[in-house]
């Protein structure tokens, strides 16, 4: 990642600079030794070596000054490198935090959109003519077959659902979309289920009921989030719910 590269470059810059400063200091120590030897030889030479002794003295002063500059430079580099690393670490943490925040927000938005779409689905299908007809005539075998066929067609297009049911006023499942997969569902009694009672209590077709995730025996004990709404007379949205 880019922020990790910045930290790596800052560390490498700091190490390279330290190494170069070490090399400069080593050279300057050698220069000081040479200057000292030159001054000794100049002293032995007497008057004829006096000028050379002055040059050796100046070289010693210069090397000392360069050593001081190198030492100061080392301190500055260490300080700036530490600040760069600290800033890079903080930036890396902030960027990661922002990325995680964005990912979390996207996940929440996806979940929220998905749940809203499920509520739209169930309210829309409650107006489907085949389901309305069966709810009005729950004993009609032909209408039951037609409703099951329509539910199966819907399930082939929507992969998020385990099964779709039509339930009569008494809480009996009278149609489903996957009888081969979940044979225990058809004819089962869901009258005690909270989602059924809440769906039957809705006041108009824009309302719906949803249950917390729980295992469903009729769906092979699969964890299930159930959405339900009432199927109203002639599919109208603002009439009393005779069926769900």
* Residue-by-residue DSSP string for 110-170: HHHHHHHHHHHHHHHHTT-HHHHHHHHSTT-HHHHHHHHHHHHHHHHH-TT-S--EEE-TT
Residues forming a β-bridge with 36? none
Query: In terms of domains, do 61 and 103 share one?
Result: yes
- In three-state secondary structure terms, 3 is helix
What is the pLDDT averaged over residues 156-176? 93
Domain count, the chain: 2
166 burial type by CB count under 10 A (0-12 exposed, 13-18 middle, 19+ buried): buried
pLDDT at position 191, please? 95
pLDDT digits (tens, 9 = 90+) for 41-89: 667 766 665 666 666 677 767 777 777 777 777 777 777 777 777 776 7
Query: In terms of domains, do 148 and 230 share one?
Result: yes
**pTM tops 0.85:** no
CATH of the domain at 136: 3.30.450.20
* Residue-by-residue DSSP string for 59-101: HHHHHHHHHHHHHHHHHHHHHHHHHHHHHHHHHHHHHHHHHHH
The DSSP symbol for 243 reads: B
Query: In terms of domains, do 75 and 37 share one?
Result: yes
pLDDT digits (tens, 9 = 90+) for 7-32: 677 677 777 777 777 777 777 777 77
Query: In terms of domains, do 91 and 194 share one?
Result: no
pLDDT digits (tens, 9 = 90+) for 107-122: 777 767 777 888 888 8
Domain end residue (candidates: 80, 97, 122): 122
What is the pLDDT averaged over residues 219-230? 92
Query: In terms of domains, do 116 and 148 share one?
Result: no
Domain with 146 in it: 130-235
Query: In terms of domains, do 45 and 148 share one?
Result: no
């Amino acid at each position: 990642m880019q922020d990790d590269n910045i930290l790596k470059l800052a560390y490498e810059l700091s190490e390279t600079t330290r190494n170069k400063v070490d090399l400069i200091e080593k050279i300057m120590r050698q220069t000081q030794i040479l200057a000292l030897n030159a001054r000794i030889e100049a002293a032995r030479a007497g008057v004829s070596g006096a000028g050379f002794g002055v040059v050796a003295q100046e070289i010693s002063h210069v090397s000392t000054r360069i050593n001081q500059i190198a030492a100061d430079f080392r301190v500055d580099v260490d300080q700036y490198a530490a600040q760069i690393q600290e800033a890079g670490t903080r930036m890396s943490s902030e960027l990661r935090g922002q990325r995680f925040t964005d990912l979390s927000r996207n996940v929440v938005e996806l979940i929220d959109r998905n749940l809203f779409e499920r509520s739209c689905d169930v309210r829309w299908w409650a107006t489907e003519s085949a389901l309305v007809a069966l709810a009005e005539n729950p004993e009609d075998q032909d209408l039951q077959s037609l409703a099951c066929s329509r539910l199966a067609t819907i399930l082939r297009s929507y992969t998020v659902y385990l099964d779709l049911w039509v339930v009569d006023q008494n809480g009996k499942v009278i149609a489903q979309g996957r009888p081969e997969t979940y044979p225990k569902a058809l004819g089962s009694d869901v009258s005690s289920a909270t989602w059924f009672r809440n769906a039957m209590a809705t006041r108009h077709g824009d309302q719906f009921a949803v249950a917390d995730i729980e295992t469903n025996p009729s769906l092979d004990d699969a964890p299930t989030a159930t959405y339900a709404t009432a199927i109203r007379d002639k599919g109208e949205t603002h009439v009393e719910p005779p069926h769900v």
